[in-house]
A and B are shown apart, each in its own frame.
Chain A
Amino acid sequence: MSILGTRVLRTEDPRFLTAGGTYVDDVPLAGALHVAFVRSVVAHARLGAIDTEEARAAPGVVAVLTAADVDIPAQAPELPMVTREMARPVLATGVVRFAGEAVAAVVAETAAQAADAAELVGVDYDPLPVVVDLEEAAAGAVLLFPEVGTNVAMRLPFPLSDDLFDGCEVVVDGRFRNQRVAPAPMEPRAAAARWEQGRLTVWSSTQQPHGTAAGLREALGLRPEEVRVIAPDVGGAFGAKDGKYPEDLVVAWLARRLERPVRWRETRSENMLGMGHGRAQLQTVRIGGARDGRILALHIDVLQDCGAYPHIGAFLPFLTRIMAAWVYAIPRVECTSRSVVTNTTSTMAYRGAGRPEATAAVERAVDLFAAEIGMDPAEVRRINLVPVGAFPYTTPTGTVYDSGDYAAALERLIEVCGYAELREEQARRRSAGDAVQMGLGLSVYVEITNGVPGGEYAGLEVRGDGRVVVRSGTSPHGQGHATAWAMLASERLGIPMDSIEVIFNDTDLVRSGVGTFGSRSLQVGGMAVDQAAVAVLDRGRRLLAELLEADPADIVVDPAGARLHVAGTPAAGRSWAELAVAAQERGDPLAVDVDFQPQGATFPFGAHLAVVDVDTETGGVVLRRLVAVDDAGRIVNPLLAEGQRHGGIAQGVAQALLEEVLYDPDGNPVTSTFADYGIISACELPSFELVPMETPTPLNELGVKGIGESGTIGAGPAVQNAVVDALSHLGIRHVDMPATPQRVWTAVREARG
């Protein structure tokens, strides 16, 4: 029986649950110095004198550095279409552009001494006008980089057609704020570095150690063999941990300069200011169609907040754009965007990165359209979904969807949730005039996984003791790759999982790697492991055939015995251990390296339904049910897949109801603790109802797509639509996220006049 598709318990967990993990801050590093960063307390200012004298004299202080002391070049984003003129210095140089930007670094013998001395650094700020609002930033009255002449860092034009909405009986406009949120991993950013015998070793809380190593090499001018990056256990990343933040670079630079180990771990409040934020779009949407429910045209204009220095966030509208046609066969779709800098923390990738924004825009627009023509939102979706026979399907924005059955996902959802009964309950409560009203929200989604081109490395070796060592270029930080990769190898080789060791996250131990982000790992890294196992199996079969003078085609795997034998003659065989020894004796060990290149991106899809109770008197929203049909192709381990769905759904719900990074008009962050930033907890969530569905992709042998981000993509818009639906009888058509009590109450009050 195949192990694939079974609920194998995570092999990682016994250690986490007993001994605990080892995170960067737990890595022993004798004699290490500690770094504390002095951070700007204003959002935009010309930097005057920086007085470091008192700090230098403080107990335990070894060094205090400002921009003038550090010769790391300013970092420009390496992203297509994004300007490189708005580069970020590692320590603020001349101007500070957001509150929290590092201005100086204080190095001391202890963390407490560094924190105390950091308070003694005096910084003169000569205030400049602040721009926080996106539209004001786009207008350009206040420029963050006057020498560039604009705040626009990236622009996606489209040959806008005048006739986009010709022939539409109904045209509806919407303006949606997809608010700024914080990734907020349990483990904040951390780095430790040692320079020893001409070689730099960095322990980094990163989701791409090889990428981190490349970034360090470039910033510090080192050769490849001079840098080793180790990602120990990583306590969450969500797209925002690349290990190449200014602080990371400074820590590594300091280790070399001071010739002593150096370490840094930020506080939670620093994390809320320093780690890249996500989302932060203002969307202007127009949707048009016929009264019979057909959607004929869609235009989305995105104003993307880059924060002070353009990073991946600036590029997100591109992902929104390539997904703008969504799950619908809309004949005419256009998407335009501008990404603008503001005096705020930079935006980066955050779970979903561009696709939750696209879902929210399109799924809200479809509900607006449904409300306008007086049709149930489920029915409008039915009419417009890309039909199952259309795959591979090329969208009007040029994206090719590999496989899917959107209608089946929607119908399954509607059946499982009892849609008709829910609508009846809603009608009853409406006619009774209850203070607490009920809403149903749908979202049907398709998303792109492994959307950034690139493959992944895996090495696999069967050793003389019969044990298998797998080396993977992926960089797990909670996903369970050790379990899944062992399952894949075990499946091919017939070697039990407990004889398979999986090695990740060390650039000395793993030849190359891309990392774990964008829901890519299984379809590239897992496939690499699978293909490596196939190659080793092939070698094993040929070797055994040679030993037994048999035909390699007749050699089969004995799944129970960790051995190969001649088909139909179990006695004629060898254990993997014996084969490995034989192979070693021939000087040709059973070891392979595979660089797997995918045929293309894959497109998971699904449908989510949220049921909410909305208290029209207090504005309070309670999520009662969240039903999710998620189809990410073939599922290797349902337990791991469900874990990904759970976490993603929680974060999607959080965006819909609770989480929002806020600044006051002067650019002061006002949500830098978890008391103010509404990070969600289990208390605010029901038990999710997860419905399985598997439509394999034809693009890889395993048929797998990615599932890391489907939860944030599907759930958020479903919940938001549910809140609006609960209030629709009052004439309310939209409530921005997060649907806070204040926002809901304000909408109700305005609707009731």
Chain B
Amino acid sequence: MIPAAFEYRRAGSVEDAVAILAEAGDDAKLLAGGHSLLPLMKLRLARPSVLVDIGRIDGLRAIEERGGRLAIGALARHHDLATSALLRDRCPLLAHAAGLVGDPQVRHRGTLGGSVVHADPASDLCAVLRCLDAELVVRGPGGERRLPVADAFRGFLETALDPGEVLVEVLVPMPAAGHGWSYQKFTRRALDWAIVGVAAVVEPADGGIGRAAVGLVSMGPTPLRAAAVEDALRGAPRSAVPAAAELAADGTEPSADIHAEQDFRRHLSRVLTRRALEQALSRC
């Protein structure tokens, strides 16, 4: 498993990385934890001519509360998220889901930023960030801009970031106090990607449901929200969950592969959405 030849550059700062990207052109790739990119390179499915290593840039690994939001550095490891006291307290869905990514080795190397820009529809964290209405902070030659996660995923393994941009931070709105949450990851093996995964956040209101957010893993070429389910539950009683969950696959075009046919994925999304909502409600 030897990758094709490439040039290795180490960036000392975000500005440095942006400058190297500008110089190296479209064929350059950022290297952070490397747990998506390096396997693709070893299989020679990816062959960037330049690797820009941002893994040692200081200050991109913090997890903190800022202005009523959670600010997570792009280089925060999955393990950092899973074990962050702040996240476990204020956004347990994200901490829990991060603890289910891959295996311990992957969680100690893989980064949140890497997961986001890889934009794998099978990514646990991409769908969870969709569910949480997160926002990306990216820096490029033109300076810094913010990009809602809702607009970030353009297609299979494709984001709205320009090739010259670097993701530096992920901002997550603080979930409302008293919210319930769940992440249902359905896999064959502990270390597998989800065949289907469902993330749910429920905010209760008046004994019923105020609003619900549902993120879907592996239900299409990008991480998705189950809009029909959310619409059906806005201001609805708890008893509306089973019927609403039946809408989980509406409008989705999940792929078929060796693990699941398309109709099985659709079925799983309905079952897992119901279970996620029921568990989230039980935690309200």
Contacts and interface: CB of A to CB of B under 8 A. Distances in A.
B189 A658 contact: yes
B190 A684 contact: yes
A617 B195 CA distance: 14
B261 interface: yes
A324 to B, nearest CB: 32
A742 interface: yes
Contacts of A93: none
Interface in A251-276: 267-269
A740 B259 CA distance: 8
Given A662-B258, A676-B258, A742-B264, A684 B195 contact: no
A680 interface: yes
A691 interface: no
A464 interface: no
Most buried by B among A267, A619, A675: A619
B4 A116 contact: yes
Contacts of A684: 189-190
B190 A681 contact: yes
B4 to A, nearest CB: 7
Given A111-B2, A740-B259, A742-B264, A680 B189 contact: yes
B1 interface: yes
Contacts of B264: 619, 741-742, 745-746
A618 interface: yes
B258 A618 contact: no
B134 to A, nearest CB: 27
A620 B186 contact: yes
Nearest to A749: B267
A59 to B, nearest CB: 10
Given A676-B258, A683-B191, A618 B1 contact: no
Interface in A102-151: 111-112, 115-116, 119
A160 to B, nearest CB: 38
Given A116-B5, A618-B268, A618-B271, A269 B189 contact: no
Contacts of B2: 111-112, 115-116
A212 interface: no
Interface in A626-683: 658, 662, 670-671, 673, 675-676, 678, 680-681, 683
Interface in A595-631: 617-620
Most buried by B among A269, A662, A742: A742
Instruction: Classify the secondary structure of A's interface with B.
Output: loop
Interface string B227-266: 0000000000000000000000000000000111100100
B188 A658 contact: yes
Contacts of B284: none
A678 B186 contact: no
Contacts of A658: 188-189
A683 B271 contact: no
Contacts of A662: 258
Contacts of B267: 745
A617 B259 CA distance: 16
B176 interface: no
Contacts of B261: 742
B7 to A, nearest CB: 15
B43 interface: yes
A571 B193 CA distance: 71
A721 B263 CA distance: 27
Most buried by B among A119, A618, A676, A740: A618
Nearest to B193: A675
Contacts of B43: 269, 673
Contact of A681 (B5, B189, B195): B189
Given A116-B5, A268-B1, A618-B271, A741 B189 contact: no
A117 B203 CA distance: 59
Nearest to A670: B258
B186 A741 contact: yes
Nearest to B44: A119
Contacts, number: 57
A547 to B, nearest CB: 63
Interface string B2-23: 1011000000000000000000
B223 to A, nearest CB: 19
Interface string B209-233: 0000000000000000000000000
A683 B271 CA distance: 24
B208 to A, nearest CB: 25
Contacts of B195: 741
A267 B190 contact: no
Interface string A288-329: 000000000000000000000000000000000000000000
A675 B192 CA distance: 7
B191 A681 contact: yes
Contact of B190 (A116, A268, A683, A742): A683
Most buried by A among B195, B264, B267: B264
A676 B191 CA distance: 12
Contacts of B186: 618, 620, 741
Given A269-B43, A742-B264, A617 B188 contact: no
B5 A678 contact: no
Contacts of A745: 264, 267
Nearest to A617: B271
Contact of A742 (B1, B193, B260, B271): B260
Contacts of B1: 267-269
B189 A683 contact: yes
A741 B271 contact: no
A302 B98 CA distance: 47
Contact of B188 (A112, A267, A670, A740): A740
Contacts of B193: 675
B116 to A, nearest CB: 20
Contacts of A619: 264
Contacts of B4: 116, 119
Contact of A671 (B192, B258, B272): B258
Contacts of A740: 188, 259
A115 B272 CA distance: 44
Interface string A676-697: 1010110110000000000000
Nearest to A110: B2
Contacts of A746: 264
Interface in B1-57: 1-2, 4-5, 43-44
Contacts of B260: 741-742
Nearest to A738: B188
Contacts of B192: 675, 678
Nearest to B196: A618
B189 A678 contact: yes
A676 B1 CA distance: 17
Contacts of A119: 4, 44
A607 B273 CA distance: 41
Most buried by B among A112, A269, A745: A745
Contacts of A678: 188-189, 192
A673 B271 CA distance: 29
A662 B259 CA distance: 11
B17 to A, nearest CB: 27
Interface in A711-753: 740-742, 745-746
B216 to A, nearest CB: 15
Contacts of B272: 618
Contacts of B258: 662, 670-671, 676
Given A658-B188, A680-B189, 18 more contacts: A112-B5, A116-B5, A119-B4, A119-B44, A269-B1, A617-B271, A618-B271, A670-B258, A675-B193, A678-B188, A678-B189, A681-B189, A683-B190, A683-B191, A741-B186, A741-B188, A741-B264, A745-B267
22 contacts: A111-B2, A112-B2, A112-B5, A116-B5, A119-B4, A119-B44, A268-B1, A619-B264, A662-B258, A670-B258, A671-B258, A673-B43, A678-B188, A678-B192, A681-B189, A683-B191, A684-B190, A740-B259, A741-B186, A741-B264, A741-B268, A742-B264
Query: Closest 6 A-B residue pairs measured CB to CB?
Result: A683-B190, A115-B2, A617-B271, A267-B1, A112-B2, A742-B264
